Amino acid sequence: MDREEVRRGTELLGVELGEHIANVIEAMRGIADELGLGAAQLRAGRE
C-alpha cells in the first residue's frame, strides 16, 4: 500500500487519516468472514 496514495485519498474524501482508518476497519468488520479474517478462520490458522 502506498502511503502517499492513502494520504491523497483522505484529502479527496475530506477526512482525517485516523477517521479514514477507523471507517475502513469498521467496514472490514462487516465482511471479515468473506475476507478470511473472521474468528473461525483466525482460530483455524492457529491449530
pLDDT of residue 24: 94
pLDDT band at residue 47 using 50, 70 and 90 as cut-offs: low
Separation between Cα atoms, residue 40 and residue 2, nearest integer Å: 30
C-alpha to C-alpha distance for 38 and 47, rounded to whole angstroms = 15
Surface-to-core class of residue 26, CB atoms within 10 Å of its CB (0-12 exposed, 13-18 middle, 19+ buried): exposed
DSSP the chain: --HHHHHHHHHHHT--HHHHHHHHHHHHHHTTTTTT-SHHHHHHHH-
pTM: 0.68
For residue range 7-38, list pLDDT tens digits in order: 999 999 999 999 999 999 999 999 998 988 88
What per-residue confidence (pLDDT) applies to 40? 76
At residue 39, the pLDDT reads 81
- Quick check: 6 pLDDT over 90? yes
Q: How much is the CA Rg of the chain, to the nearest whole Å?
A: 14
